[in-house]
Amino acid sequence: MPPEPKITDRALDLFAAMGRLRCTCPPPRPLAGGPCPGCAAWFDLHAELHDELKLKPWQWPCVARQSPKRAGSHALNNEISVRMAMLDAAAKARRTAPSEKEGSPDAEPVAGEDTPV
C-alpha cells in the first residue's frame, strides 16, 4: 500500500464540503444530460481533494461517494476505506480539539463565564 497522505486542514475542509452535498439526479444515474448540481460539485471537490492529498493518478477515486464497497476492485476498496477512515478520524479530532485560543492566557472570556475581578 502507498504511504499515507498528509491530511491537511484544506483536505478536511474539502472532505467535509463533499459530505454536505446531496445528489438530486433522478434514476437512472447518470443522466445523459449530465450530473445534478450536487454531483457536479462533488466531482469538482473530489478532484481538488485528490490534488490536496498529493495522490498518484492511479489512486482514483481517492474517496467513495457512497461506500468504499462500490468503488471498484477489492484492493481499491481497501485503500479507499483506509483513506476515508483517516479523513473521518482527522475531521472528528479537529471538531473535538479545543481551539488554540481557549487555552491561551489572552483568550477572550466566554459570555456567561465567571471572570476574575
Angstrom distance (rounded) from CA 113 to CA 93: 25
Name the one residue in this structure whose C-alpha cell is 463533499: 18
| Exposed/middle/buried for residue 83 (C-beta within 10 Å: 0-12, 13-18, 19+) | buried
- Distance, C-alpha 57 to centroid of its chain: 19
Is the predicted pLDDT of residue 41 greater than 50, yes or no? yes
For residue 60, the Cα-to-chain-centroid distance in whole angstroms is: 15
Res. 100: pLDDT tops 70:
no
Q: How many whole angstroms separate alpha carbon 31 and alpha carbon 61? A: 20
pLDDT, mean over the chain: 78
* Banded model confidence at residue 104, pLDDT cuts 50, 70, 90: very low
- Residue 5, pLDDT score: 74
7 or 66, which is more confident: 7
Angle between helices 74-96 and 9-20 (to 10 degrees): 100
pTM of the model: 0.72
Cis amide prior to 116 (ω within 30 degrees):
no
Residue type, 8: T
